[in-house]
Amino acid sequence: METSLSTREGALLIDIEPQGPCWVQLTIDGERVISRLIQSGESLQVEADNEIVINVSDAGAFRFTLNGRAGRRLGTAREIVTVLINRDNYRDYLVS
């Protein structure tokens, strides 16, 4: 399910690039696609039709973009966070 940068019309493309090691679980359109420790320097790209659920063990280290735009911080160092991003609310997760 990992994809290239070309995004289908209406799809959500998330690109994850953590600044430190953190456990990341991604559920894309109801299917768990990633559940593992991701290291600083790694990059993962996944595309969703409808929704992305992110579970992260260190919100302070977690960095991402949505459709090429910088995502906002989801929390502080070592904070465990779960968020649901979909077509209706994705703008709430972008840096303003």
Q: Which sequence spans correspond to the domains of the chain?
A: 12-93
Q: What share of the chain is helix, strand, coil (3-state, %, to 5)?
A: 5, 45, 50
Determine the residue type at 19. Q
Contact 48, 12 (CB under 8 A): yes
pTM (two decimals): 0.88
Mean pLDDT of 19-42: 97
Residues in CB range of 84: below 8 A, 6 or more apart: 51, 52, 53
Residue 21 has pLDDT above 60, yes or no: yes
Rounded percentage of the chain residues whose pLDDT exceeds 70: 92
Which strands, in side-by-side order, build the sheet including 51-56? 31-38, 22-28, 51-56, 81-86
